[in-house]
Amino acid sequence: MLAWYRRRRRPLPWRRPGTGPYHTWVSEVMLQQTRVETVAPRYEEFLRRFPDPETLAQASEEEVLRAWAGLGYYRRARQLQAAARYLVAEEGGELPRDYESLRRLPGVGEYTAAAIASIAYGEPRAVVDGNVKRVAARVLGLELEAPDPVLHRRARAWLQGYHDELAARRAHGNAAGDLNQAVMELGATLCRPRAAECPRCPLRRDCRSARDGRALVRPAAGRAASAEELLLEMLLARRGEAVLLARRERGWNRGYFEPPLRLLRGRAPAAAALEREWEIPGGPGRFLGEFRHGITRYRLRVRVREWTGLPARLPGCWRWLGPEEGPWSTLARKAAALPGRPA
């Protein structure tokens, strides 16, 4: 398994020589619920702007959110900065070197602490994500649903057994970090949800699913949570490249700048509160277009109209911002990119 990984692993930026614990931490936080293809370029941009915990700790929240824009789940960015500030204040700017100490950092849970401890420091501790659970279910022949806590426990015990064996052998190099990444890499490239390339798999001799041909029914398909459909209206005012925006202080996209929104159809407390957050001068004009967007457990359909009847003096919360200012929310950028624009 380790030999396969060292030969076949993808050349991802967080695997380059010279990456340290801080780089590992940033990459693991970014990769939570976000695809590798989306993370890779943003990871490098983020590290150019914030190359160490001290720089991240000293930045404004607005700067951090601007660098995080497009990755979604923005609470991760705030927790990352909160943890950086803790490190600077309490740990001399250095990440702790063991799992238990890492768990004390804001926003660092079981998965992230285990990933940093193993990849950055070589601690023999299993890291279990969706890829690992799928590989374990197929190797062990488990037809449990992926969210089942029993599958999580079985996958962790299975992977921890390999870690314990490597530790007993006193394996050279960072075998613990490579082993965790090897299983995740296997799940991402060969043992995928709708495809299993068993003849190429380094675990095929030990895999029940490779023998009985039932890889694609393991883990069992659970009932997907249905996303709620919401219909929203957004008002867009432009002045050259600038758009009239206000900083959202609560609910979705907190900390980002956005045009006014109101809920037209659907039930969601966070959406229903949108139109009450600001004093909105003027009103809707001609239809400019619409777009769709997913956020948490909601599917949004956003109708964009020209914002008309603006007074000469606007309330203090509104600002004309260019595309490099802000940070703009993804909803704001999608609206501004529509081909229909105010005259």
Kind and range of the H or E run holding 192: strand 191-192
Is there a contact between 13 and 44 (Cβ–Cβ < 8 Å)? Answer: yes
Report d(CA 187, CA 192) in Å as an integer.
5
Report d(CA 176, CA 1) in Å as an integer.
12
Question: Residue written as tokens 């693991």?
Answer: 28
Angle between helices 75-90 and 21-31 (to 10 degrees): 160
Sequence-ordered list of residues with C-beta below 8 angstroms from that of 170, at least 6 positions apart, any chain = none
Is there a contact between 247 and 257 (Cβ–Cβ < 8 Å)? Answer: yes
Quickly count: other Cβ atoms within 10 Å of residue 263's Cβ.
18
Nearest to 211 by CA among 193, 221, 196, 192: 196
Per the DSSP assignment, residues forming a β-bridge with 300 are 230, 293
Report d(CA 322, CA 239) in Å as an integer.
9
Is residue 28 annotated as a catalytic residue, yes or no? yes
Report the Cα–Cα distance between both ends of the chain, in Å, rounded: 61
Considering the candidates 28, 233, 258, 306, report the single residue annotated as catalytic. Answer: 28
Residues labelled as active-site residues: 28
